[in-house]
Structure 1
Amino acid sequence: MEIGQSVVFTIPILGGIPVTTTVVVTWIIMIILTIASLIVTRGWKLVPTGVQNFVETIVDGLNSFTKDALGEYWSSFAPYLGTVALYLILANTIDLFGLTPPTKDLSATSALAIMSIIVVIIASVKARGIKGYAKSFFEPMPINFPMKVLDMFTRPLSLAARLFGNITAAFIIMDLISKVAPIVVPAIFSIYFDLFDGALQMVVFVFLTMLYIEEAVE
């Protein structure tokens, strides 16, 4: 059982840049999403049918949910939330295909969390302006300033740690089950730990990010 990320190869520049399994699997996910988007959106018609109808239903559902939460600002953030959702659903469940989930690496989940908090900051500046955003650190009382600054660090930390912890725990449990139980048993538990839990962690991450954006634009 391997918890850490191994180096797949090293780029021979700047003294050698190690490329880990996290980076390689992330590249694979990017390629899958790019090819899938090109195939799915090819030959779309004005009146949707088949796959187009299915995809548009999902997109409309996400847009509607985001619009209800973020109001007039929804269109600026729905694409980001949808992209993160697609990445996470693949990253969290790719263990089913024998690849190491990149979200089992704290550096990957930290990068996602930092990206989300940057988006939250952009949302706040867009809604309040730079002066309004700076003023929000002192509301409702100036004494809240230290807590507001601390909150900027605890939010990405909680997002990263929650996603990393749950995916790593599921990976360890599945590895232990596969070593001590018959073949059929791991397959049954995989439905929960690889599929359900992976999808659940995606929903939690995206929902919390949306909640932080909603708070920022209020």
Structure 2
Amino acid sequence: MTMGEELQEQLQTNIVWTSPFDVPLLGPIHISESVVITWFIMAVVMVLVLVLTRKMEIVPKKGQALVEFAVTWVTDFFEGNMGKAGRRYVPYLSTVFLYLAIANVIGMFGFGIKPPTKDINVTAALAVMSIILIEAATFRARGGLGGFFKSFLKPMPIMLPINIMELAIRPLSLCMRLFGNVLGAFVVMKLIEHVCGLIAPMVFSMYFDVFDGLIQAYVFVFLTSLFMAEGIETEEETPMPQKV
């Protein structure tokens, strides 16, 4: 098998199960390996949550103190980006970051596991979920339908076409940035393994599989929080000058 054929095989998203029945208008249901790996990551996260939150005490021990410190740090970080109004969205952003962090580095554990974020369907779904949340937060912060549509006229009415285009550009940019970086790192690692054998890939894996994977998870949630901050920001009232 040539290197090109091996890369093509590695980049394909395999179907692990197909339903024996057809869904009206959709046909049979296909379960891909990226979905199965996502379920596995969800199970790992749930087990970690259950283990780390057992026997919580008023006076925390080392493990509980570490978890509380991490939660506080993450909450303060996102509140710094979005303000107090964004506190309610911290659980979603934290969950997405945790999922992406595990998904991007899971390939380094071997066993033929491919990062689910290598599948553009996964990154597109994450991007659509984030944009729906961003627009819902904007709708809530603007006080309803009227304020939501008025936000498209800011900072000036001439920006209306560009603000409308952003509804499609933002999810596309989130999707393609995450997918492109993860896919590019995956391809580079395969090329290094093919050329350099065993030792060099172990060194480069620390960057492409760990550092770069965590950076991409951070960038995704950071941009989501910035887009959300733009939608939920409120104009500060200018104080009236006091009469002497």
Normalising to structure 1: TM-score of the pair?
0.96
Q: Deviations over 1:78-117 (max 9, x none)?
A: 1011000100000111101221111001111011011111
Partners of 2:41 and 2:209 lie apart in 1 by 16
- Assess if the C-alpha contact under 8 Å between 1:6 and 1:20 holds in 2: yes
Structure 1 alignment gaps of length 5 or more: none
1:106 and 2:114 are equivalent in the alignment: no
Q: Secondary structure at the match of 1:140?
A: coil
How far does residue 75 in structure 1 lie from its aligned partner after superposition?
2.1
> What is the SS of the residue equivalent to 2:155?
coil
Secondary structure of residue in 2 paired with 1:36: helix
1:50-199 matches, within 5 Å, as 50-98=62-110, 99-130=113-144, 131-199=146-214
Where does residue 20 of structure 2 map in the other structure? 12
Query: Which moved further from structure 2: 111-120 or 48-57?
Result: 48-57
Larger helix percent: 1
Residue identity matched to 1:12: P
2:51 is matched with 39
Q: Report how far residue 54 of structure 1 moved.
A: 1.2
Q: Match of 1:26? A: 38
5+ residue gaps, structure 2, are: 1-6, 234-244
Aligned residue for 2:159, secondary structure, equals helix
1:63 and 1:74 in contact (8 A); partners too: no
Cα shift readout 1:182-206 (whole Å, capped 9, x = no counterpart)? 3111110000000000000011001
Normalising by the residue count of structure 2, what TM-score does the alignment of the two structures yield? 0.86
Rounded to whole Å, the distance in 1 between the matches of 2:28 and 2:131 is 31
Matched residues in 2 for 1:51 and 1:193: separation?
A: 30
- Look at both structures and tell me which one has the larger radius of gyration over its CA atoms: 2
Contact 1:8 1:20 (8 Å CA) reproduced:
yes
Residues 51/11 of structure 1: CA separation in 2 closer, same or farther (3 Å cut): farther
CA distance in 2, matches of 1:56, 1:140: 40
CA–CA distance in structure 1, aligned partners of residues 203 and 160 of structure 2: 50
TM-fit CA distance, 1:74: 2.5
| Matched-pair identity in % | 44
**Could you tell me whether the CA contact under 8 Å between 2:123 and 2:175 is conserved in 1?**
yes
CA shift digits 1:33-90 (9 cap, x unpaired): 1111111111111122222111111110011112222222132111011000100000
1:141 Cα deviation (Å)? 3.1
Q: How many residues align?
A: 218
RMSD: 1.2
User: Contact 2:86–2:229 (CA<8 Å) still a contact in 1?
Assistant: no
